[in-house]
């Protein structure tokens, strides 16, 4: 199955089309994942691009979160999991024996469905990991990093006068932006988002979507969504999963307007899922 949206079968590429090929950040090859006997992901091949938003869609239980967690080795934390295959980030397989999974999780940040700030102040939520990993020392450089991360997450103006208050005192939408600030603060290359707005009101959702569009200038973003309109609004590429298979992966317009597979069409037209 061709799963590279820019796969070019001809050897003759003219310059104008070559320029449109985005830079690959993640290359997934023949990825299989088992939870015990449950074969949850089947032979996934996928290239994911820098400075793009890639949406993962598909019915509940099809493997979207499982796939996302393969990209930062978070599934390693689950006892029954076995992963086969390769996930290259910048041409290095993150499943190679010499790769430290903690360092992978620093480079590949993750934002979850439920905002989950630490039970700490707003300031400490953002500064905790950079201080722990020695990226900054307490004092000015740390203050600057906290401010920069909160600005980038579109939250600074709302919290700059109450940085010592608990992160949990913020609204749900603000907490989610705090979690994004916390993710950005360790300067990842890639941000994974698992239904980041599904617990939020429409205005907060709009803010997070606007933020995603800004953040893609610096990062590769992979997001899971059940909201087809959201995928249409933010995603450059969309991947449709069904029962552990990657059925179709293409630019978002193709997936929604002219899908190549009947299963994709049935799903996006609401026939199941
Ligand atoms: N921690 C786990 N332990 C065992 N099996 C799991 C675990 N997490 C997911 N699974 C199984 O893997 C399959 C894919 O689940 P996954 O959570 O990745 O789906 P999803 O597409 O994210 O669904 P949803 O849209 O409901 O979030 C399901 O069969 C699920 O039961
Ligand atoms: Mg999920």
List, for residues 182-227, the tens digit of each pLDDT value: 999 999 999 999 999 999 899 999 999 999 999 999 999 999 999 9
Answer yes or no: is 100 within a domain.
Answer: yes
- What pLDDT does 3 receive? 53
Residues 16-25, mean pLDDT to the nearest whole number: 73
Residues 236-251, mean pLDDT to the nearest whole number: 98
List, for residues 131-184, the tens digit of each pLDDT value: 999 999 999 999 999 999 999 999 999 999 999 999 999 999 999 999 999 999
Long-range contacts of 91-95 (CB under 8 A, 24+ apart): 91/27
Q: What percent of the chain has pLDDT over 70?
A: 92
pLDDT above 60 (res 19) = no
Among 58, 60, 65, residue to substitute to test ligand 1 (most atoms within 8 Å of Cβ) = 65
Q: What are phi and psi of 270, to 5 degrees?
A: 80, 20
Range of the domain at 75: 22-117+189-268
Ligand 1: residue whose CA is nearest its atom 14: 63
Ligand 1: residue whose CA is nearest its atom 27: 60
> Which residues sit with their C-beta closer than 6 Å to ligand 1?
35, 38, 40, 58, 60-66, 78
Domain harbouring 248, CATH code: 3.40.50.300
Under 8 Å between Cβ of 96 and 108: no
Rounded distance from Cα 201 to ligand 1 centre (Å): 25
Question: What is the number of other CB atoms lying within 10 angstroms of the CB of residue 95?
Answer: 18
Residues pairing with 191 in the sheet: 109, 221
Residues 47-63, mean pLDDT to the nearest whole number: 97
Answer yes or no: is 134 within a domain.
Answer: no
Answer yes or no: is 155 within a domain.
Answer: no
Under 8 Å between Cβ of 52 and 216: yes
Under 8 Å between Cβ of 116 and 182: no
Distance CA 158, CA 218 (A): 23
Under 8 Å between Cβ of 260 and 230: no
Distance CA 118, CA 125 (A): 6
Ligand 1: residue whose CA is nearest its atom 25: 60
Atom of ligand 1 nearest to the CA of 59: 25
Rounded distance from Cα 80 to ligand 1 centre (Å): 13
Residues 7-19, mean pLDDT to the nearest whole number: 46
Q: What would the 3-class secondary structure string for 126-153 be? A: HHHHHHHCCCCCCCHHHHHHHHHHHHHC
Under 8 Å between Cβ of 246 and 3: yes
Name the residue with higher pLDDT: 106 or 179.
Answer: 179
* Total structural domains within the chain: 1
Q: In this structure, what DSSP letter does residue 260 have?
A: S
| C-alpha distance from residue 1 to each of 21, 235, 240 (Å) | 19, 22, 13
Q: What percent of the chain has pLDDT over 90?
A: 86
Answer yes or no: is 227 within a domain.
Answer: yes
Answer yes or no: is 130 within a domain.
Answer: no
């Amino acid at each position: 199955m061709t799963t590279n949206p820019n796969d070019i079968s001809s050897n003759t590429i003219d310059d104008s089309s070559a320029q449109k090929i985005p830079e690959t950040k993640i290359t997934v090859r023949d990825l299989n994942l088992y939870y015990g006997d449950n074969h949850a992901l089947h032979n996934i091949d996928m290239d994911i691009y820098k400075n793009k938003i890639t949406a993962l869609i598909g019915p509940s239980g099809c493997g979207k979160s499982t796939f996302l967690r393969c990209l930062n080795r978070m599934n390693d934390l689950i006892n029954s999991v076995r992963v086969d295959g390769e996930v290259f980030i910048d041409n290095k397989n993150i499943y190679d024996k010499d790769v430290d999974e903690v360092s992978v999780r620093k480079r590949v940040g993750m934002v979850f469905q439920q905002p989950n700030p630490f039970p700490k102040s707003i300031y400490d939520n953002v500064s905790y990991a950079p201080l722990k990993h020695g990226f900054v020392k307490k004092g000015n450089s740390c203050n600057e990093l906290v401010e920069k991360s909160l600005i980038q997450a579109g939250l600074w103006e709302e919290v700059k006068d109450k940085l010592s208050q608990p992160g949990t005192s913020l609204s749900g939408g603000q907490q989610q932006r705090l979690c994004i600030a916390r993710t950005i603060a360790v300067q990842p290359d890639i941000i994974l988002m698992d239904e980041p707005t599904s617990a939020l009101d429409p205005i907060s959702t709009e803010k997070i979507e606007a933020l995603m569009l800004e953040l893609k200038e610096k990062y590769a973003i992979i997001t899971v969504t059940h909201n087809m309109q959201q995928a249409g609004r933010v995603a450059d590429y969309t991947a449709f999963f069904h029962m552990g298979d990657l059925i179709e992966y293409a630019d978002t317009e193709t997936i929604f307007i002219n899908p190549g597979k009947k299963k994709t069409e049935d799903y996006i037209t609401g026939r199941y899922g």
